[in-house]
Structure 1
């Protein structure tokens, strides 16, 4: 009889869900016991993803809390926004642990959530209970928790780039500007004109300018660490590539610091956290260098002329920005090695 933790994945036919399948199949402590899709229940998962033929269970389950309770110990919710807010309380009441990859439990204010996500907010009692799972920053809170709100992809790259300088108190908090670019997979697997090949190929565009729903998530986490309200300028761009996020962050510093001092600060802050890698002086990370992995690579440069720090932070949006961080949070939740099931190198070229 297996002693592994039994995992169910709801939303298994989306990109976040299928990445969870890939990662959990080789996890030393986890067994996938149910892959679930409300729109494709009863169909073979290989109909959606032929590469999983004879690797994962033959057919997709429907969403049935009673059935899930019998088959699983933990549930990953890789569902659209608005769905997890309804499902998670039922799963928790059934005694299951939940890791939510949607945005339904990230924002503590229901009013703010409704404004930015255009959905009815989840039950405030469960929102208050949810732990924001930015692993390298709030990992101690993740340990032993039952409901994890997995951060968004843009916030993961951006916050990991900003946290050391904000925590240290060296940043002019009103000066933060974030210029972030994402591959097309960040839009999900749904069809739409905005991700049509002939529209995005050979193209580069900004979208949701000053309206992106990840803005308040970033501000909430920064404000918590800074101890005061932080507001940022956040602009997202779509790049004609499949995976990857590159977040270029500009922030004025209160006083001048050498790049050696700044690199030392960043390396000290992330000491012992193996998935954040700080580049040497004058070295800048690229999305290709973290492709398919759970790493976040960061490069920094201080411009003595302007007093401004430039931070380059890159992740794979589907791994560190979604499924990989969800597995990392599960590891912390269960008291396992943080890198269990994630200790592989990026794919290159």
Structure 2
């Protein structure tokens, strides 16, 4: 057990960790743009050390570093672990030796001999703190309101860059993950479900006769149908579920933590709710109909692609059986 108090854990921790994973920031280490913002922050605030930290389940890792060589520290040592759970932002420690939470911390007693710390959470548009933009000094110091404001402004600038990078991985029309990034994240969910013996299901579905919409009302109308359908689906999903646009009018929905009956009920709710959509068809008898295929993780699945392939087969069954229905396929 560490000789210093445990770090606080955010109340939304499990959702926060998934959000961190889904932002894919492990691929952006030492990114020149991120590093430039960090260097400007350290220079502006006249601090010898600056970090862009990401607080993972067991450690904090540094997306960018200024004035420090290490790439990560255990989470129990991380000042940033306190910053992401703090009520007030920025989180400021003027002299770590005088604070019982940090007085016995190895990073205070030994290199880099932290005395002063100020960290501003990297908060996503959904309200999850991924980590911090922080500055550190080896001498105690005060932090003025002007300096706090500057740190907040630089953090906002950094988050705009992070959000822009994140959005570039998504479908520009629907805001959903594309096939490649979806498969990457879904494989992680598959491994997590397998290790923890959690239920996991996949629904693959597409719009019946979608091309008729484009031909009759135009492509702008077709795009609006996709946008409305995605908004509808997301209103029905739980926080950890993951939706993606796989092809033009085909979507995948990874259903996390629901057993077979619950997953099937959600699939039918999506299908039925789609038929109730009005929007551009409020003066028409046309109704959106979906065909879907669903399957759940099985003991003989070796990877997510096994589950995906089975859901695709189930989707073909639904189409061949007359459409506007959900077909379920069990593992052999």
Q: TM-score, normalised by structure 2?
A: 0.27
Structure having the higher helix fraction is 2
Q: TM-score, normalised by structure 1?
A: 0.27
Larger Rg: 2
Higher relative contact order (CA 8 A, sep 6+): 1
